[in-house]
Amino acid sequence: MNARPLRSWLLLSTALVLLSACSREDAPSTPTSSAPTYLAVARGRIDVEGGLLKLGASRDGVVAEIKVTEGEQVKKGQLLATLDSELAQLAVAAALTEQRQVQIQAKQLARQLKFAEQQASRLTAAAKAGAGDSQSADGAHEAAERLRDEIEKTQTDAEVAARKLTAARYELAQRSLRAPVDAEVVRRLIQPGAAVSAQSGPAFVLLPNQARIVRAELNESFTGAVRPGMKAEVTDDSADGSVALTAHVVRISAVLGNSTLEDDALVRANTRTVECILAFDQPAPPSLRVGQRMLVRFGP
């Protein structure tokens, strides 16, 4: 073969290979997968409606007995602790005695009135028959009328005594701390013998047995994109987000405030957020604890 045609053929082949390589490099790559898009992202925390219940003493006194321990499940109305109640019990006993005295007096007056009315009736009949004088009949009627006034006064005294007894029993009941709802005792902050008052702070911290919710802090720039009923994805803020729970927006607050979940104090002070409440579509797993930080991604 002639050397010149061979060299030409080799040069042409090399050029074609280079052009093919450049063409493959310039072609745009086809994406294999696309990441999900979200309308908004916010930080939140697990909570219950109304938050933790802080239960304190409503009267001054000394703790006499504690009936529950931390971690215990309690029912509505269950006794948690009692304060010293000797004076309150004495007040109830005194009110009961006063009420009984009024009741006895009312019975005596009722008997006296019955006798007085009978006597007045007999004297009136005797005066009409000419066997007695009308003055005695009038006196008997007057005595019966005075007894009726006494009975009316006694009825008022009985009402006052009943109110005193109710108030005394109420004060006695205030010296017992009872669970207002079904709940778990999270903290017990008192000991037997400790002096407590209405100003001394909570005696127990209770977690009501209610469905878990998410309180998310939605940046004010996203308020127009999120609305009630919108679906959201909730993951643990400290985890890799591999396990996600579905939730939906229940309501959005009409009040702007500073962020409370940002770690940086400067960011907290300068970030304006709106509280957004979300409910889980399925019962939240027991592993979710009140106060746990979550990441909320609002779907399209």
What's the confidence (pLDDT) of residue 230? 95
Q: DSSP characters for 72-89?
A: -EE-TT-EEEEE--HHHH
Domain boundaries, the chain: 40-50+210-298, 53-84+175-208, 86-173
Cβ atoms of 177 and 57 within 8 Å: the answer is yes
As a whole number, mean pLDDT of residues 242-255 equals 90
Residues 6+ apart with CB under 8 A from 118: none
Percent of the chain with pLDDT over 90: 62
Look at residue 266 and tell me whether its pLDDT is greater than 90: no
As beta bridge partners, residue 213 has 47, 279
Q: Which of 22-31, 125-134, 266-275 has the lowest mean pLDDT?
A: 22-31
* DSSP-based three-state secondary structure for 107: helix
pLDDT value, residue 2: 47
Closest CA to 19 of 30, 9, 11: 11
56-70: b (≥16 Cβ within 10 Å) or e = bbeeebebeebebee
Q: Say what the alpha-carbon torsion angle 244, 245, 248, 253 is, to the nearest 10 degrees.
A: -80
| 283 vs 172, more confident | 172
pLDDT band at 24 (very low <50, low <70, confident <90, very high): very low
The CATH fold of domain 40-50+210-298:
Elongation Factor Tu (Ef-tu); domain 3 (2.40.30)
- Whole-number Å distance between alpha carbons of 186 and 183: 9
Say if residue 36's pLDDT is above 90: no
| Strand 53-56 relative to strand 79-83, pairing | unpaired
Task: Compute the average pLDDT of residues 181-194.
Answer: 96
Mean pLDDT, residues 276-296 taken together: 92
Condensed to tens digits (0 to 9), the pLDDT of residues 200-244 reads 999 999 999 999 999 999 999 888 899 999 999 999 887 665 678
Per the CB < 8 A criterion, the answer to whether 278 and 234 are in contact is yes
- Look at strands 61-66 and 79-83 and give their pairing: antiparallel
Averaged over 74-97, what is the pLDDT?
Answer: 96
3-state secondary structure of 126: helix
Return the residue matching tokens 């006499």.
Answer: 64
Pick the range with the lowest mean pLDDT from 93-102, 106-115, 265-274.
265-274
Q: How far is CA 94 from CA 164, 184, 201, in A?
A: 9, 38, 32
In the prediction, which pLDDT does 242 show? 60
Whole-number Cα distances in Å, 144 to 59, 105, 138, 149: 48, 16, 10, 9
Q: If you ran DSSP here, which 8-state letter would residue 218 be given?
A: E
pLDDT band at 35 (very low <50, low <70, confident <90, very high): low
Residue 31 has pLDDT above 50, yes or no: no
CATH architecture type of domain 53-84+175-208: Beta Barrel (2.40)
Residue 15 pLDDT more than 70? no
**Of residues 38 and 85, more confidently modeled:** 85
| Neighbour count for residue 112 (Cβ, 10 Å) | 16
pLDDT in tens, 105-156: 999 999 998 988 888 888 888 878 777 777 888 888 888 899 899 999 999 9
pLDDT of the residue at 23:
47
Q: Is the pLDDT of residue 164 over 50?
A: yes
| Cα–Cα nearest to 208, from 75, 77, 81 | 75
Nearest CA among 100, 99, 83 for reference residue 172? 83
Does 3 score more than 50 pLDDT?
Answer: no
